[in-house]
Amino acid sequence: MKTSFAVASSFILAASASFAQTALFSDAPAAVPAQDGGTATDNSALTPITPKLHEVILGLPIDTQRFNEHVIVLSSPWMGGRLPGTPGMEFAMDYMEYWLKRANIEPGVPSSDGSPATYRQAFDLGGRRVAKDQSVSITPTGGAAFSLVTNQDVQLSGLGSEGNAEGGIAFVGYGIEQGPEGYTSFTADHSLEGKVALCFRFEPMDEAGKSKWSGGDGWSAQAGFQGKLAAIAKRKPSAIIVINPPGADDPRATSLTTSGGRSLVQMPVFMMSADAADRVLQAADPKSRSIMALRTEADNAGASFDLTGATAAVSATYEEKKTKAENIIGILKGKGTLASEYIIVGGHLDHLGNGDFGSREGPGKLHPGADDNASGVAGVMIIAEDLSAKYAAAPADANLRSVLFMGFTAEESGLNGSRHYVEHPLYPLKDTVLMMNFDMIGRMTKDRLSVTGANSAKGMLEWAKPIFDRGGCTVVINEAMGGGGSDHASFRAVNVPFLFGIIADFHEDYHTSRDVSELIDRESGIKAVRLWEDLAWEMAQRAERFEFDDQSGPMRGTTIRVRIGMRTKDAEDGSGIEVSDVTKDGISDKAGVLKGDHVVKFNKEAIKTREDLVRELRKLEPSGEVQIVITRAGEEKTLFLKLGSE
């Protein structure tokens, strides 16, 4: 999908609202005669002088203007949160490709069939099941059947299987086998066999729509899909419909989508809105209860029963759809004896869309990703433009390395784009002398930039330190050499020296809907860009290459410097590692980890065994924050551990 970027300029008008918030005033007020013969203050001289926005922008250095423009466009609502496989991500890739082309950066992806090179390195991100055909209809006894509206009233989930079913309707409350104080949703001897079972999402609630069982903090493990669907399925219904309960204090209660895509039971599983459930009850419940009345009953006692006034018929089929992803890659070709060696300057272009995974505040809101990582990609594009001009001005006999500019995709879901590149390199990894990665450089505190990897090659820190010292940023050297958490980790894993730049002091807005362009510190961010550009330019000319230091990585004997307050064991079903204990008030406890959770990702790396977790822990310093993904009762959750010694 291609689009014109003329419309992008419209977003620039929102660029620097914060720059113009301070009104200027004229000279101090003058004293004037008062009516009583004294003097009074002439406040007319206090007319505010508000700078015009275009004057503020034009008064900035040109590179700050460029940084400002790129961040605003990439984080605008037009980009839709830059989730791979969406139109917004396509727009973002078009935008980066446009600016690389404008900077005279050539396409970096050679063709295998002799056609022209492109800027796109494509790969399959993975498959997902999507509903192909789905329907739910209700037939009242002695009345005409009516169909529920797909994707408005009902939606086929990925939690079940394909199939057709028809039968009576049974209500099973929250579908909970055994809860606190003897609570159960199932009436003894009540048969579900062959029926369509209706159950509520979540678990018994109080009047405020909060869990009665979790102490007011989210939901207990009983609320998850896995346990309730298994409890219902073993009673052999023909299909399950999960109803979003009215009044629940959870944003998911208004959504028909689910985060879980793995089949948990071998029968169709649909999601249903509360409004649609009310219409079903009008037809099926002889007592004419509302869905809120049934919720109140289920909140207090869990007896299941048949809704004898109607029957239901459902149909469900899926198709497998592959998500295509693309890295954006351009090349600035070198000169002379160094042209066959490569420097990579990159950052991830993707973000979280509407926060369906990886969000710190849950799904349903646009996550613009201004700092994470529109700011880093803005830096990559500016460096490309500036280095291109320097290369063009260099003498014909200059020796300069080639530079690859990369916008990686699917970093947020597991470093997928950078991992694909190192597994399918377009240029020899043995001749890739340095990988420079930017991720979140737009909100530095007191110009503090954390740099990891300066000791990933012998002598590189000594070479880089004078450049750090004159660069305008306060460089905070991070000695944790595992990389982790961003795309440089993929290159570290194949012994490519790297430098990773990120804000030294994390803010609470990343991975939320609050990561917006208005909060970006343009002047500070451009200091990081200039520093990275100086490093790349110096490395492009340096006659010697650095030797990767294989003792800098997370070797088996490396001391683990962090404690995260959980004990684990390998899961019997191979689904990550199981949390066997959580230290009270420890890091994991504070993050919301529970005993019985399965850790499947840690710092964006897949976790299959305890050794995998130990490997990742060896990479970390006892500061900052790390993202983990756990599964709980069949649902994935993203949590954030605030690191530190316990």
Q: Are residues 46 and 77 in the same domain?
A: no
The pLDDT of residue 19 is above 70: no
The pLDDT of residue 30 is above 50: no
At 94-153, the pLDDT tens digits run 999 999 999 999 999 998 888 999 999 999 987 778 889 999 999 999 999 999 999 999
The pLDDT of residue 35 is above 60: no
Q: Which residues contact 269 (CB under 8 A, 6 or more apart)?
A: 156, 157, 159, 160, 229, 239, 240, 241, 242
pLDDT value, residue 545 = 96
Q: In which band, very low, low, confident or very high, does the pLDDT at 573 lie, cut at 50, 70 and 90? A: low
Is residue 150 included in any domain, yes or no? yes
Please give the average per-residue pLDDT across 255-268, as a whole number.
80
Contact 566, 586 (CB under 8 A): yes
Please give the average per-residue pLDDT across 415-435, as a whole number.
96
Q: In which band, very low, low, confident or very high, does the pLDDT at 598 lie, cut at 50, 70 and 90? A: confident
Q: Are residues 536 and 391 in the same domain?
A: yes
The pLDDT of residue 51 is above 50: yes
Q: Are residues 253 and 391 in the same domain?
A: no
The pLDDT of residue 287 is above 60: yes
Is residue 285 included in any domain, yes or no? yes
pLDDT value, residue 33 = 45
The pLDDT of residue 419 is above 90: yes
Is residue 117 included in any domain, yes or no? no
Is residue 311 included in any domain, yes or no? yes
At 495-504, the pLDDT tens digits run 999 999 999 9
Contact 486, 463 (CB under 8 A): no
Is residue 547 included in any domain, yes or no? no
Classify residue 525 as exposed, middle or buried by CB count within 10 Å of its CB (0-12, 13-18, 19+): buried
Note the Cα 443 to chain centre separation in Å.
Answer: 18
Is residue 239 included in any domain, yes or no? yes
How far, CA to CA in Å, does 550 sit from each of 506, 543, 555, 559? 29, 22, 9, 16
How far, CA to CA in Å, does 404 sit from each of 95, 114, 332? 17, 21, 6
Q: In which band, very low, low, confident or very high, does the pLDDT at 597 lie, cut at 50, 70 and 90? A: confident
What one-letter code names the amino acid at 304?
A: S
What one-letter code names the amino acid at 375?
A: S
Q: In which band, very low, low, confident or very high, does the pLDDT at 466 lie, cut at 50, 70 and 90? A: very high
Which tokens is 131 given? 């509903």
At 79-92, the pLDDT tens digits run 999 999 899 999 99
At 290-310, the pLDDT tens digits run 999 999 999 998 789 999 999
At 487-528, the pLDDT tens digits run 999 999 999 999 999 999 989 999 999 999 999 999 999 999
Q: Are residues 172 and 209 in the same domain?
A: yes
The pLDDT of residue 440 is above 50: yes
Q: Are residues 410 and 450 in the same domain?
A: yes
Provide the residue range defining the domain that includes 21.
17-58
Cα separation, 493 vs 479, whole angstroms: 16
Is residue 559 included in any domain, yes or no? no
Q: Are residues 507 and 573 in the same domain?
A: no
Domain count within the chain = 4
pLDDT value, residue 14 = 41
Is residue 91 included in any domain, yes or no? yes
